């Protein structure tokens, strides 16, 4: 928990120090009250005391109480402020860190776990900062201060208080030993329940198609039951805390009065009033001692979950992406004089969690404007190969060169600005057709990634400006120039026809994940998004599979016409999609077994011949 505090800003540290001062002030006022109570008791018990003196002592006691209340309010305000701004920063940092993750890091942390870490875990940290830090500081100060005040008031009373504290600490230690492992398990079980719920929601069509609702419900019930039983165990165990505190507190009060009665009965007449006054003061101080340990016990409730949550958040923040950023910018790359070239030199690749190489000794080159296609059986390494170009992974051996420069030397932003990527599974985002096609345009980037320090007035104003800019960007219609580019890209991807039929055309709403459009429509919009960027390199990872043959042909013809200057890397299963490629690379079990044109491979590559003859007739292959 302490390690995560390094992300506190200077302003937040200053506010926490100020809160420390107000906490000390509150403890001082709380421990000053018994002194005035003693004075009032003495005045009441002393014959001939003036009522005015009692009123004066009572007025001072009231002022002390108001001072304690004021300190408590200021402390609570500062703690809530620090907790909110700190956790806001943690969420932003975690989101930014996750954005830098590649597939290897995403496989380490499941999506459900990352969601839990950025929501539930950070909420636990916020609760601890808002409440727990006050208690951690206040309870020991109050305990030490109160013990110091009562230490010389009477051996018997001090001994009784000491016995009560020992019993209390022993009980807390036993309970913490029982619940600490459960607190740690609770966050993992929360991950599990999020995983099951997310899996069910994303696969709802398949669940219904196979009448597997009962099976999914049983999985959720099991995950829910495990979490509930763990929570019940911790809650039932911690439920003993408050009754135990009250019992010890009441027992201590009874002991103080019993000891006081015994001492007063045995004392001389002249000492009875002093002993009675001391007993009143001691009873109040002993309550403060027990209260301080009660507060400390509440810390033990909040600390374990917050500590586990902090460790989980730090796991994300401290994870170094395997793909490290290079230093070469666009200006550096321009000096090579090349544009749109891709070359693999003896490239081998092994996945981080695998022992066997996925790709071995891959070598080929693609010149600017060429179309290079990759074909092979399922699992032959086609997608793995093209994922090395945008550096989703790095080659284990050999070099991947773009414009004559090793991709590992590139600044990642510079490299990916050169690439238009269409993934195997088409992904759309909540918004409009136009916002999805123009996704990644530079003007909106700063409002997404910039962080605001809301602990200062300037930071709050900056945050407000960012939010206003976000709202303005969302509400404003897309500019005419951008809309023209969007429509041109949609024409290339053969998407304009169905987009114009949608309610609102290019301003039509797209649901989260593109659930309100078909698979083929999603694929065409994904292609349009890549074309919109006018990149040097276009990568299609089996991106024509959901298109019918006619649309497939029209898209390829439009790409050849409108993106003739872009180098095109195409992974495909259909021979018809790649027959006219400048170079076809045939993969089998991670190795290149042939490369050349369609005609050359039909004569020299047995694997290619088998794939081709399984799809097309001899007449179609020779056409």
- Distant-in-sequence, close-in-space partners of 469: CB < 8 Å, separation ≥ 6: 447
The whole-number pLDDT of residue 275 equals 67
Find out whether 326 and 401 touch, Cβ atoms under 8 Å.
Answer: no
Q: Structure tokens of 609?
A: 């011949």
CA diameter of the chain: 125
CA distance 354 to 107: 13
pLDDT digits (tens, 9 = 90+) for 142-164: 877 777 776 666 677 778 777 88
Contacts 24+ apart (CB under 8 A), 158-163: 160/252, 160/255, 160/256, 160/259, 160/286, 161/252, 161/286, 161/289
The whole-number pLDDT of residue 154 equals 65
Q: Is the pTM of this model over 0.85?
A: no
Q: Which of 193, 252, 258 minimizes the C-alpha distance to 226?
A: 193
- Distant-in-sequence, close-in-space partners of 373: CB < 8 Å, separation ≥ 6: 569, 570, 571, 572, 577, 578, 581, 583, 584, 585
DSSP 555: H
Q: Which of 277, 410, 282 minimizes the C-alpha distance to 342?
A: 410
Query: What's the sign of the alpha-carbon dihedral 64, 67, 69, 72?
Result: negative
The whole-number pLDDT of residue 419 equals 93
CA distance 425 to 513: 11
The whole-number pLDDT of residue 448 equals 35
Report residues of the chain scoring pLDDT below 50.
443-456, 466-467, 470-477
E strand or H helix at 510: strand 509-510
CA distance 465 to 459: 10
The two domains 1-318 and 330-442+452-614 share their CATH topology (first three levels equal): no
CATH architecture of the region 330-442+452-614: 3-Layer(aba) Sandwich (3.40)
Length of the chain: 623
Q: Structure tokens of 178?
A: 């029982």
pLDDT digits (tens, 9 = 90+) for 285-337: 777 777 777 777 777 777 877 888 898 899 999 988 888 888 898 898 988 88
Domain boundaries, the chain: 1-318, 330-442+452-614
What is the number of other CB atoms lying within 10 angstroms of the CB of residue 589?
14
Q: What is the CA radius of gyration of the chain?
A: 35
Return phi, psi of residue 342, to 5°.
-135, 130
The whole-number pLDDT of residue 107 equals 81
The whole-number pLDDT of residue 613 equals 85
Instruction: Give how far Cα 37 sits from Cα of 141, 151, 190, 282, Å.
Output: 22, 19, 50, 11
CATH architecture of the region 1-318: Up-down Bundle (1.20)
Q: Which of 336, 525, 318, 319 minimizes the C-alpha distance to 414?
A: 336
Q: Structure tokens of 359?
A: 């790709």
Q: Which of 10, 15, 174, 2 minimizes the C-alpha distance to 82?
A: 15
Three-class HEC string of 346-393: EEEECCCCCCCCCEEEEEEEECCCCEEEEEECCCCCHHHHHCCCCCCC
């Amino acid at each position: 928990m302490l390690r995560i505090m390094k992300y506190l800003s200077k302003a937040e540290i200053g506010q926490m120090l100020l809160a420390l001062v107000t906490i000390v002030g509150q403890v001082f006022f709380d421990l000053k009250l018994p002194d005035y109570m003693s004075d009032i008791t003495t005045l009441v018990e002393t014959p001939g005391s003036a009522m005015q003196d009692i009123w004066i002592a009572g007025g001072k006691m009231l002022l002390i109480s108001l001072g304690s209340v004021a300190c408590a309010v200021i402390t609570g305000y500062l703690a809530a402020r620090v907790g909110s701004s700190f956790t806001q920063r943690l969420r932003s940092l975690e989101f930014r860190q996750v954005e830098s993750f590649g597939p290897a890091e995403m496989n380490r942390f499941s999506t459900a776990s990352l969601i839990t870490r950025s929501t539930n875990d950070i909420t636990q940290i916020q609760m601890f900062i808002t409440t727990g830090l006050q208690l951690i500081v206040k309870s020991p100060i109050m305990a030490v201060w109160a013990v110091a005040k009562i230490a010389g008031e009477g051996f018997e009373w001090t001994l009784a208080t000491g016995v009560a504290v020992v019993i209390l600490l022993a009980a807390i230690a036993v309970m913490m030993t029982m619940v600490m492992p459960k607190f740690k398990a609770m966050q993992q079980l929360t991950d599990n329940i999020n995983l099951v719920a997310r899996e069910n929601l994303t696969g709802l069509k398949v669940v219904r198609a196979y009448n597997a609702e009962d099976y999914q419900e049983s999985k959720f019930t099991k995950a829910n039951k495990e979490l509930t039983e763990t929570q019940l165990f911790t809650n039932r165990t911690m439920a003993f805390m408050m009754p135990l505190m009250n019992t010890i507190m009441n027992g201590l009060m009874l002991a103080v009065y019993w000891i006081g009665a015994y001492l007063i009965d045995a004392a001389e007449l002249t000492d009875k009033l002093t002993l009675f006054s001391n007993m009143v003061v001691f009873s109040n101080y002993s309550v403060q001692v027990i209260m301080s340990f009660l507060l400390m016990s509440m810390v033990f409730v909040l600390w374990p979950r917050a500590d586990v949550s902090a460790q989980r958040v730090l796991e994300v923040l401290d994870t170094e992406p395997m793909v490290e950023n290079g230093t070469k910018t666009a200006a550096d790359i321009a000096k090579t004089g090349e544009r749109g070239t891709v070359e693999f030199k003896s490239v081998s690749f092994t996945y981080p969690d695998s022992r066997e190489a996925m790709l071995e000794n891959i070598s080929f080159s693609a010149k600017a404007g060429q179309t290079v296609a990759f074909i092979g059986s399922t699992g032959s390494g086609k997608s793995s190969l093209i994922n090395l170009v945008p550096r989703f992974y790095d080659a284990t051996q050999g070099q991947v060169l773009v414009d004559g420069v090793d991709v590992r030397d590139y600044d990642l932003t510079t490299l990916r600005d050169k690439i238009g990527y269409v993934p195997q599974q088409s992904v759309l985002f909540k918004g409009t057709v136009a916002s999805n096609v123009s996704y990644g345009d530079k003007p909106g980037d700063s409002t997404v990634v910039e962080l605001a320090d809301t602990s200062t007035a300037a930071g709050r104003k900056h945050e407000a400006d960012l939010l206003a800019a976000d709202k303005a960007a969302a509400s404003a219609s897309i500019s005419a120039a951008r809309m023209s580019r969007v429509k041109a890209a949609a024409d290339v991807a053969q998407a304009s026809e169905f987009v114009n039929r949608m309610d609102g055309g290019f301003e039509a709403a797209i649901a989260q994940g593109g659930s309100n459009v078909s698979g083929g429509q999603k694929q065409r919009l994904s292609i349009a998004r890549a074309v919109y960027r006018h990149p040097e390199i276009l990568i299609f990872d089996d991106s024509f599979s959901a298109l019918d043959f006619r649309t497939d042909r029209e898209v390829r013809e439009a790409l050849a016409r409108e993106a003739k200057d872009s180098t095109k890397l195409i992974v495909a299963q259909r021979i018809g999609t790649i027959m006219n490629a400048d170079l076809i690379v045939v993969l089998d079990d991670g190795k290149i077994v042939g490369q050349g044109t369609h005609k050359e491979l039909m004569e020299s590559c047995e694997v290619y011949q088998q794939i081709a003859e399984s799809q097309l007739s001899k007449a179609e292959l020779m056409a």
